[in-house]
């Protein structure tokens, strides 16, 4: 009788343990992810939208689904696997929710490629939200802002600034204004464009280099956050 009871208890403990593991691995909705505490473990499923070039077995990846977006900070990944994460690829990711300078991200992430139809987000027009508290709710999403005016970047009067002015092998910064507020945006040097090109060879990098103060432009890019909105531009056109 005692042996039977012990066996039943052992099976029960294993079952409870398995349930606990299953609960920990539960895939979150975007709403659940937003509500999760910082430093807690999170598991999400979403689609690759953008990625920064692989280096030292690490990469930064933008993910999105129909409900919201995510940013994977320096996820460990082989160069071979990095090549598989083309835009539209669905992945399951487990990591830890973190924050740096207002940017919410997933750290120490591991991933699994899922068998699913590719999905690419359409850039959402968030121009009307730029001056509101709701702007941050679109963090890491592919967005567009329209009719913004190029401002002088600094006291020199230049319309942009190189992070590395000597050989132009780093990010490119510029400022725009809308409804009385000014924002600092950038071209992230290592963010691959839709043709797999990065750096000063991208069309958006060249477009920023051609800007003049006072130009009115439309922008598309990922709404990164660094002590405020810091859109990483992937497309720039003159406003009509």
> What per-residue confidence (pLDDT) applies to 230?
98
Question: 128 in helix, strand or coil?
Answer: helix
In this predicted structure, the answer to whether residue 6 has a pLDDT above a threshold of 50 is: no
d(CA 102, CA 191): 20
pLDDT of residue 3: 47
Domains of the chain: 26-113 (2.40.50.140), 124-238 (2.40.50.140)
- 116 Cβ neighbours under 8 A, 6+ residues apart: 90
Report residue 186 as tokens: 């950038």
| Entry pTM | 0.89
Backbone angles phi, psi at 157, to 5 degrees: 85, 0
Q: Which of 2-6, 33-37, 174-178, 233-237 has the lowest mean pLDDT?
A: 2-6
pLDDT tens track for 197-239: 999 999 999 999 999 999 999 999 999 999 999 999 999 999 8
Q: Which two tokens stand for residue 11?
A: 């099976």
- Select the more confidently predicted residue: 11 or 107: 107
pLDDT tens per residue across span 52-73: 989 999 999 999 999 999 999 9
User: 145: closest CA among 188, 176, 108?
Assistant: 176
In whole numbers, what is the pLDDT of the chain averaged over residues?
A: 92
Over residues 86-128, the pLDDT tens digits come to 999 999 999 999 999 999 999 999 999 999 999 999 999 999 9
Q: Answer yes or no: is pLDDT of 25 > 80.
A: no
Residue 19, pLDDT > 80, answer: no
């Amino acid at each position: 009788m005692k042996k039977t009871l012990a066996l039943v208890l052992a099976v029960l403990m294993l079952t409870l343990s398995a349930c606990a593991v299953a609960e920990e691995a539960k895939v979150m909705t975007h709403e659940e992810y937003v509500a999760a505490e910082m430093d807690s473990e999170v598991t999400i499923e979403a689609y690759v939208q953008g990625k920064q070039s692989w280096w030292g077995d690490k990469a930064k990846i933008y993910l999105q689904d129909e409900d919201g977006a995510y940013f994977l900070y320096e996820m460990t990944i082989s160069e071979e696997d990095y090549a598989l994460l083309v835009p539209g690829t669905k992945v399951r990711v487990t990591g830890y929710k973190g924050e740096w300078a207002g940017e919410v991200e997933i750290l120490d992430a591991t991933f699994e490629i899922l068998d699913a139809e590719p999905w690419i987000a359409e850039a959402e027009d968030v121009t009307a939200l730029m001056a509101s508290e709701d702007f941050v709710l679109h963090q890491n999403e592919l967005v567009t802002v329209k009719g913004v005016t190029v401002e002088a970047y600094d006291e020199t009067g230049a319309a942009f600034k190189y992070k590395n002015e000597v050989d132009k092998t780093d990010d490119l910064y510029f400022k725009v204004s809308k409804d009385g507020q000014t924002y600092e945006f950038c071209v992230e040097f290592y963010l691959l464009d839709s043709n797999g090109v990065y750096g000063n060879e991208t069309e958006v990098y060249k477009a920023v280099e051609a800007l003049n103060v006072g130009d009115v432009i439309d922008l598309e890019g990922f709404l990164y956050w660094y002590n405020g909105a810091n859109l990483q531009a992937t497309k720039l056109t003159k406003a009509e």
